[in-house]
Amino acid sequence: TFMFVMIGNLLLEIQGMTFSFWLALFSVSCMANVLGLNISSAFNSAVTVYVIIPLLLIPQMILSGLLFSFDKLNNIISTKGKVPIVADFMASRWAYEAMAVYQFKENSYSEPYYKYEKIEKQADFKSSYLIKELKKKNQFVVENLDTTNDSIKNLIIKDLQILKDEIGKEEFRTGLEDLDINKALSVEVFNSSKAQIIDAYLDGLKKHYLGIYNDAEQTKEKFVLFKKKNGDYDLNEYKNNYYSESLSDFVRNINVKDRIIEYKGELLQQIDPIYHDPEAPEHIFDYRTHFFAPTKHFAGFYFDTYGFNLTVIWMMTLLFYITLYFELLRKALSSFDKVKLFKKKE
């Protein structure tokens, strides 16, 4: 793996990622070796092992997140806005995400500005897409308040709940001082006057996030000027040496058609997953996030994606080592040989 990384980084002109790439690939190699030893210990026939190898490798490739978008998988195994559980059993998924996120965040060009760009992208998403979607829903509700159609009534209830949830997440409350959101955004109470208040609030919220965006942009520009004045620093040279536009397209998901989608009563961000922090976990051991999330949550803490993902791979390696040590796979297969489905007639 070290030779592979050295030659690969040299040919692809990847700088500053030698140790991090080696550690990720070495971790996967250790897991793969222990998995291979489990297969070897369980089967006596080399032909059987040769048949099983593709069955192990193909899912690793398909569910790595590189060849196919998880959102395009069958709804039976996929979950919008989160990595499918079936993909979490693939070491390739954890390794690919770890390497991609690390290279994008920690390269010498992006690392000093990532925190500013993160604020920019989050503010841009809310001002450009989220608030626009909320205003549409607010308008739809007020236009159909007097409807007698049951399906439209259900849509109104759903849209009001989305408005309530999204507005409830915001710390900015200017314009809502005299309004109880939980009560006002109910079908029984909501009316055109309250819709006007919500619309005005959303306009103010948009200006609020545009201000955050501009402040982050100015802070970033000042930081660049500071680095130029206090050292031999060429921003374009750093970008040419360390920044990968192809990788940026992947982790920012800029080719996605819908920047925001609605799924099971939630609005899910599709653009810029690398800048989007995971949503609040459902329980203390909820580790699941969207793909290319910059951090992961577990047991009440947030961890950097690179370290978290490699820890998962080593946990897999430890698990396979235990099964190898106690020959659990071979014993499990042997137990099936003892099962008699049909009794022979005497």
**Half-sphere exposure (CA, 13 Å, Cβ side) for 2?**
1
Average pLDDT, the chain: 93
Angle at 27 (CA atoms; ends 70, 108), nearest 5 degrees:
75
The position carrying tokens 């030893």 is 37
Mean pLDDT of 65-94: 90
Residue with tokens 């690179």: 306
Is residue 89 scored above 60 in pLDDT? yes
pLDDT, one tens digit per residue, over 324-333 is 999 999 999 8
- Put residue 107 in one of left, alpha, beta given phi > 0 → left and psi -120 to 50 → alpha: beta
Looking at the DSSP bridge assignments, the partners of residue 304 are 295
Per-residue pLDDT at 232 exceeds 90: no
Instruction: Kindly tell me if the per-residue pLDDT of 345 is higher than 60.
Output: no
Largest CA distance in the chain: 96
The model's pLDDT over 43-55, given as tens digits with 9 standing for 90+, comes to 988 899 999 999 9
Task: Tell me the C-alpha to C-alpha distance, in Å, between residue 227 and each of 2, 105, 219, 243, 244.
Answer: 34, 19, 12, 18, 22
Q: Please say whether the beta carbons of 260 and 270 come within 8 A.
A: yes
Which phi and psi angles does 79 have, rounded to 5°? Answer: -130, 120
pLDDT of res. 230:
85
**CB 306: neighbour CB atoms within 10 A?**
22
Yes or no: say if 277 and 114 are a contact pair by the CB < 8 Å rule: no
C-alpha torsion angle, residues 8, 10, 15, 18 (rounded to 10) = 50
Q: What percent of the chain has pLDDT over 90?
A: 85
Q: Are 117 and 125 in contact (CB under 8 A)?
A: no
Confidence (pLDDT) at 153 = 95
Evaluate if residue 114 carries a pLDDT over 60.
yes
Q: Do 81 and 69 touch, CB atoms closer than 8 A?
A: no
pLDDT band at 76 (very low <50, low <70, confident <90, very high): confident
HSE, side-chain direction, 13 A CA sphere, residue 273: 25
Q: Which amino acid is at 295?
A: T
Q: How far is 303 from 295, CA to CA, in rounded Å?
A: 5
What pLDDT sits at residue 341?
58
Measured N-to-C along each axis, helices 131-143 and 150-168 cross at an angle, to the nearest 10 degrees, of: 140
Q: How far is CA 308 from the centre of its chain?
A: 13
| Lookup result for tokens 């222990």 | 34
Cα(296)–Cα(105) distance, integer angstroms? 15
Let me know the angle formed at the C-alpha of 303 by 298 and 304, rounded to the nearest 5 degrees: 145
Residues 308 and 306: their CA atoms lie apart, in Å, by 6
Sign of CA dihedral 185, 188, 192, 194: negative
For residue 172, pLDDT beyond 90: yes
Q: Is the pLDDT of residue 346 over 70?
A: no
